[in-house]
Amino acid sequence: MIERWTRGALAAIGLCVVPAPAIAQDDLDGAPMSMSLQVTTDPSTIECRRLEKVNPASLVFLPLRRTFNEDFDEHPLANGRWVPHYAGGAAWPEARYWGGDGSDFKRKTSANGEQQIYVDPRYAGRNAAPLGLDPFKVKDGVLSIVASRTPPGLKPVLFDNEYISGILTTQGTFAQKHGYFEIRAKVPVGHAVWPAFWMLADDGGWPPEVDVLEGRGEKPGDLVMTTHWRIPSTQKIQSCGFDFAVGDASSAFHTYGVLWEEDRLVYFIDRRPVSDIKVPIGFDDPMYMIVNLAIGSKFFLGVGPVDAESPPTVAFEIDRISVYQIDLEQARR
């Protein structure tokens, strides 16, 4: 999601059509306390690869136990699990300027060319009192992060951003090293629309970054899953990932996940492995989760700047977010 250092740095990228999952959609609805994922044990490489043909002899079932689950049966800010802005940290102090002018601080990643500001009911912008703007709507166990055009009268108060929208992170409330991280969601489309579910190191450093899901709003059904890391000897950022075509991604719920093992990262769509990469250097700390709906981009293909065709309002619908840890004791049996 943080694109300013990664332009032109993708080691591999391409479009892959994801076949219908072998798992019934009903089985994907919930987050059981324990489950198994089918994974490959063959050697992985630092350059990511699609898992279109996997040697059946290399497949094993990896047991997992649930460590986090959010079904969004209540407002996401009601339970203390989620923070509605970026936090930054000592390992990456400049992250504190994500945004820019005054109270815009922590409320956008301006280097991306984003044209939204992330708000919540307590956010005041340039105002002395909270504005009461709430981009988070909950209905029937589904969270909608809603982006809408900024009311003209509030533009000066909200630093002249074209849209208001929402972000939720678990920095400071939940982070985990290794395991399986999954979102079940519909992926919105539209000009300048950029939904994402991603992970950063809990110490505030960057990279590493794991983009479990990014939607290219101007390319319906086109999703990208990417790993970002830094080469210590050159300090250059490297990225490797693939685009996947999920034709009904905007109209039907699907699950999108990443399994972080000691030696590899495996990306999943509907719990089917679709790509993997050897864990790059620098993936040493637990990671926290971020889910957001950005509007506008300078660099991210398929997400351009706001224009007349950009929707007046758009929603990122999220049914749940779940995390599992690898059950080492069960795996040894």
Residue tagged active-site, from 70, 114, 214, 218: 214
Cβ-contact 23, 35 below 8 angstroms = no
Q: Does the pLDDT value for residue 5 go beyond 60?
A: no
State which H helix or E strand residue 26 sits in: helix 25-29
> pLDDT band for position 45 (50/70/90)?
confident
Average pLDDT estimate for 192-212: 94
* CATH code linked to domain 67-332: 2.60.120.200
> pLDDT band for position 88 (50/70/90)?
low
What is the identity of the amino acid at 23?
I
Within 10 Å of residue 56's Cβ, how many Cβ atoms?
7
| Nearest alpha-carbon partner for 228 in 195, 178, 265, 180 | 265
Euclidean distance between CA atoms 99 and 106, whole angstroms: 6
Per-residue pLDDT at 6: 43
Burial status of residue 238 (CB atoms within 10 A of its CB: 0-12, 13-18, 19 or more): buried
Q: Please give the share of the chain, as a percent, with pLDDT higher than 70.
A: 86
Cβ-contact 308, 190 below 8 angstroms = no
Question: C-alpha dihedral over 56, 58, 59, 62, to 10 degrees?
Answer: 180
Question: C-alpha dihedral over 1, 261, 187, 30, to 10 degrees?
Answer: -140
| Nearest alpha-carbon partner for 15 in 221, 256, 228 | 221
pLDDT in tens, 237-295: 999 999 999 999 999 999 999 999 999 999 999 999 999 999 999 999 999 999 999 99
Model confidence, pTM = 0.92
What is the identity of the amino acid at 156?
P
Per-residue pLDDT at 93: 56
Per-residue pLDDT at 20: 47
Euclidean distance between CA atoms 226 and 240, whole angstroms: 6
Average pLDDT estimate for 222-244: 95
Which residue has 């490797």 as its token pair? Answer: 240
| Nearest alpha-carbon partner for 294 in 138, 200, 163, 136 | 163
Of residues 29 and 276, more confidence is placed in: 276
User: Could you confirm whether 209 is annotated as catalytic?
Assistant: yes
Euclidean distance between CA atoms 124 and 149, whole angstroms: 17
User: Could you confirm whether 47 is annotated as catalytic?
Assistant: no
pLDDT in tens, 47-81: 889 998 877 888 889 999 999 999 999 999 999 99
Which letter does DSSP use for residue 263 in this model? S
Euclidean distance between CA atoms 111 and 113, whole angstroms: 5
> pLDDT band for position 7 (50/70/90)?
very low
Which letter does DSSP use for residue 95 in this model? G
Residue tagged active-site, from 209, 262, 309, 329: 209
Q: Does the pLDDT value for residue 9 go beyond 50?
A: no
